[in-house]
Structure 1
Amino acid sequence: MDKVLGSAAEAVADVGSGSSLAVGGFGLCGIPLVLIQALLAQGASALETVSNNCGVDGAGLGLLLEAGRIARTVSSYVGENKEFARQYLSGELEVELTPQGTLAERLRAGGSGIPAFYTPAGVGTWIAEGGLPWRYAADGSVALASPAKQTRAFNGQDYVLEEAIVTDFALVRAAVGDRHGNLVYDASARNFNPLCAMAGRITIAEVEQLVEPGEIDPAQVHTPGVFVQRVVEVGTEGKRIEKRTVRPHEAGHDHERGL
């Protein structure tokens, strides 16, 4: 089955307001930036996003956030984004914080048909006991707090029950994809992408390079095409470095190396 569509706009056309989205990436590494831009132009609002983080100011999911399109997010890291902090503290955004490993497993479990699982992460904290502020009121009081979760002891150690995540759509980015939806990610851009791809009922993949079926070695496939419903080729333009770090210049360094 050929799953390739002609444009990112066509791929996200049926993402309706109020939809839930699992979005791959880590910071700005491996994010589906073209699909996010297309969704911004499409106009869907009141979205619930599930992603390691919610982008940064002016990039990634931060674009949807700044436009007021995200109503709720499930994330494990919320730094690097002043607008995110403002919306959360002012009561405009509902935030469910979850440990990073737990978030990864909730997505994997959702894609594997596992409804819930026990984990030691979060035992003895607000994660398990409830009371974590999910949404604030305009006056700074807590309008909605997280509920307490079931805990159980196994072999003398306590564990908390975490529910799997399944979303209406998933947006991911891969380095290479074929027309059947098989995907290969590049190095650290693999991050949350395979997990998000599993968790979406409809998974949309933007790929930098589109190849024909059979051109990808089956042993190299990271996400099998069974998890992917739509593919869009986007090239490599627009990728951005989140934080550029360079070594301080040392006087005479190049001369000493004979350069």
Structure 2
Amino acid sequence: MELFSWYQNELIPTKELKINFTDDITGQLRGFRIFTACVRFGSNKKIFKRKKHIKRLYKSAKLIKMKSPYSKTDLNKIIDSVIEKNKDYDGDIQFDIIFSGGKTSSDGFTPLGLSTLIILSVKPFDFPDKFFKEGMKLVTFAFQRPFANVKYTFYLPAIFAHLTIVKDQEADGIIFVDPNDNETILEGSSFNVFMINSNDQILTYPLNGKILKGITRSIVIKICEKFKDLEVLEQSFTKNELINSKEVFITSTTRDIMPVTNVDGFIINDGKPGKLTIELREALIEFRRNSNSNLN
């Protein structure tokens, strides 16, 4: 069964979606484009944590002075229509809700008017089972995303890293480290990073403008503190602390919680997904399954 997306006030089969280049120069050519990736899981007809995704999208627009194409109320009506059109699709659906720059003035940079709305409906990335069963192998890459608290579609540094260091070391992905010291762990290319120390404290980088506030990151912190009675410390930590930790895992909307067992060639603990990581992943999936607040 085909999926339907939204563009220029129309519901269009995703495989037939075509973006008008000249109507979106600042998005297509200049990279002035933000988004949020949210998921409708299985037969659940609601997007998980929809309200939080929409809130972050509008906050991103405000931070970069982008003019939103619709009010939140009107956007939600459009999202409802996209969900309704795809209601008979049984599998998971990832909705990439995109605000793209739109037309440009004669200087080639200044956007004219409102941004353009695109809602792309696709099947989520199908990550290999071994990532969950055996853990991921990640490598560090010195880079800090500009406007890091904005979720935008510019992934050139991450793509370059995948074409070079990830390929050379036969790794599965990258973790950005602060280029000022080449040691402080920031975030991944499209995920947040957590470590568990010898005291069973869970550490993740703080929200100080250098990383994205991940939706799943926030949920996992809440699960740790409220349901598992675990101490979460939002503070910086180094690569050395990471590779000597008990457990490492990453979080994102499409990955939930995914274990990491190797960083820069160093084996984490015994090289197997940690017990607490597995428990937290199961708790997150259960929380999502039983949540009565999918719009919150």
Which TM bucket (shorter chain)? under 0.3
TM-score of the superposition, structure 2-length normalised? 0.23
More helix by share: 2
TM-score of the superposition, structure 1-length normalised? 0.25
Where relative contact order (Cα < 8 A, 6+ residues apart) is larger, the structure is: 1
